[in-house]
Amino acid sequence: MSESANDDLTYPEICTDLVKTLLETGYVAVGRGLQVHAEDIFNGLIAARPESELPVVGLSVCKMSFGDFATATALLTKQALAINPSSEIAKCFLGVVSHYCGAAQQSLSIMSDLISNGTDETAINIAKNVVNEINSR
């Protein structure tokens, strides 16, 4: 098939429930150590939902989980937060990756702001756990 023929193809919209299921599946793949599969899932979701920061956050968590902190940071700062600058979950994982990179003060700053001003319960709970871990050292 020629490239111009591919340009004429239209793809059906992926429903929100399927996107949620695929996001969860991507995170399960990360937890199982299936890096390539997780990356494929998150990259597919990025293509399917380019207006959402959540698949980018998922890909960054995947990169972070397998030790690629530089790419995880770049995904969060240059893509996820560019899509949604107020995304508390993207900020939260930026705080997590900062912590893993040894930037405890930066991580504490991000997490403290989330704890004080955030509304996303998941992001706030992760932030509290990271702050507790940093403070227990």
**Average pLDDT over every residue of 22-39:** 98
Average predicted confidence (pLDDT) for the chain: 92
Query: Which pLDDT band, with edges at 50, 70 and 90, does 14 fall under?
Result: confident
CATH architecture under which domain 3-135 falls: Alpha Horseshoe (1.25)
Domain ranges of the chain: 3-135
**Average pLDDT over every residue of 129-136:** 92
pLDDT higher than threshold 50 for residue 1: no
Neighbours of 27 (CB within 10 A): 17
